[in-house]
Structure 1
Amino acid sequence: MQKKTNVTDQVKIKLDNGKLVFSLGSQVIGEMRVSGERLALSPTYQLENGQLYQLSTKPATSTADSYVEHCDLGWC
Structure 2
Amino acid sequence: MKAGRIDITDRVTAKLQDGEWVLYYNHKPIGRFVPDSAGTDMSEGFELDNGRLYAAYPDERNRLQGNYADDCDIGWC
Q: Same fold (TM over 0.5)?
A: no
- TM-score of the superposed pair, with normalisation by structure 2: 0.40
Larger fraction in strand: 2
Structure with larger Rg? 1
- TM-score of the superposed pair, with normalisation by structure 1: 0.41
Higher relative contact order (CA 8 A, sep 6+): 2
